[in-house]
Chain A
């Protein structure tokens, strides 16, 4: 926990200053989780604000301060899920993003000032986000929380409010689907590098 239980109780009782301190404590971590979930840096703050907005108006539903962090994760998951669903409906093309990346890399190569580490990071980021884009929003979120954020099954149980067996089944299926997508991507691009 990044804050005391008393602070959460105060915020729950309507103390806006206490709520502000909670936001300050958790916003960076929440921004990071959302950045890894949705993959679009320009929208991360909007989604994060959505999370805290929902938190503010649902704090009275929080049973005990002990479940605050799973509760916050749950709100984060819901906000990210809503965002990803909206993005899928819009069918936004990312060609402009890809072409911008290509331009950057071409400039870097031509100018001789390529930051290889930055290029590698960009490749990893783009590849994983593309891979996660091949599975459903539910799978994407579960895999990100488990494989990227490193949440344990116990923690995920509290976030998803399901029992361990149901969660294991979901995780197993999500892993199978992402493995298939990964194998397909490797088959198409043998030169694709992983972590190196």
Chain B
């Protein structure tokens, strides 16, 4: 874009007059005191919030570690069902029952 068209003269003069009318005010005597109070207040708030946040993170991390520990720790008495293979269980079942079909017996003998 080329140069921006200027304001009309009367409006530009009005803004110039406004600049003269609204001069830079002097700060109050308490300006810096109140500013530092606000800075310190915000620092205290930030510090407290930071501590609270760190506490939550630490607690969450501890809970995660505990859950992980319980998940990876093996059971002291493993289930009997998982100590045998599938074929062993079928063989045990077949021996226990009388009406096992001949075909099933032949299959089992072949596998074993």
Contacts and interface: CB of A to CB of B under 8 A. Distances in A.
B17 A194 contact: yes
B111 interface: no
A49 B38 contact: yes
B18 interface: yes
Nearest to B27: A27
A7 interface: no
Interface residues of A, number: 41
A57 B42 contact: yes
Most buried by A among B3, B11, B39, B42: B11
Contacts of B24: 28-29, 31-32, 35
Nearest to A27: B27
Contacts of A29: 24
Contacts of B15: 128, 143, 147-148
Contacts of B42: 53, 57
24 contacts: A23-B32, A24-B32, A27-B31, A28-B24, A31-B24, A31-B27, A32-B22, A36-B19, A36-B22, A49-B34, A49-B35, A53-B39, A53-B42, A124-B14, A125-B22, A128-B18, A143-B15, A147-B7, A147-B12, A168-B3, A182-B8, A182-B14, A194-B13, A195-B16
Top-10 shortest CB links A-B: A32-B24, A195-B17, A195-B13, A147-B15, A128-B18, A121-B21, A194-B14, A168-B1, A194-B10, A36-B22
